[in-house]
Amino acid sequence: MGEEDLFGELTDAVVAGDKDRCRGLAEQALDEGVDPYRALMEGCAEGMNIMSDRYDEGEAYVPDILLSAEALYEAMDVLKPHIDVEDTGVSGKVLLGVVEGDIHDIGKNVLKSIFDAAGFDVIDLGRDVRPEQFQESIEKEKPDILGLSALMTTSMTGMPKIIENLQKAGLRERVKVMVGGAPISEDYAEKIGADGYAPNAPRAKEIAEKLLKQKREED
């Protein structure tokens, strides 16, 4: 089986939520000398991208997303020990959380799986996270990037408060802030002083890598 065919099979297995198939294909990739990082990103992560799009379009539901994420992590368990972090170009720490008043975390969970696959060190605070929790975690964990998610217009108003708190605490310059979620726009991100906005999970990975590079240059 050629590399592209193998990547396609991995993508299909993640979409189907087939853990056994994902593990078997990941092992096959290693046996055939396929770059494990490419297998993870061009195969498995692409499957999660597809499921994210289907969820947004109402063609997939929470249980489907969870099954696909489990399948991705099954392959990741096989592939990740063989990935050299230097080869990925990613060596940053990301703190993720859904803002206070919002319990919708499926988008954040998809993003976490893709960030994990990409090689980021991901700290997941979960959902309905108070502004103080974000601040405390930044002080403790010292992440490079803070990712804020909101799915409701009533909860997105908590994002500027979080950024304001970081400024008051003298922490804003230590971390790049990116925001996303259904009601969020690029204009809103700029208005509240965020460093980046991502309309979807694949774009979020690109933005995070860009922000990480900027932070490294500034440091």
Question: What is the reported pTM?
Answer: 0.78
Could you give the C-alpha distances from 159 to 20, 97, 125, 203, in angstroms and in order? 40, 11, 15, 20
pLDDT band at 151 (very low <50, low <70, confident <90, very high): confident
Alpha helices in 32-130 (DSSP H): 36-38, 46-56, 62-79, 85-88, 106-118
Mind listing the pLDDT tens digit for each residue in 110-150? 889 889 888 899 999 999 999 999 999 999 999 999 999 99
Fold adopted by 3-83: 1.10.1240
Domain positions in the chain are 3-83, 87-218
Mind listing the pLDDT tens digit for each residue in 36-92? 989 988 999 899 889 988 988 899 988 998 899 999 999 989 998 888 765 556 679
Q: What is the CA 179 to chain-centroid distance, rounded?
A: 12
Region class of 141: left (phi > 0), else alpha (psi between -120 and 50), else beta: alpha
Chain-wide mean pLDDT for the chain? 91
Fold adopted by 87-218: Rossmann fold (3.40.50)
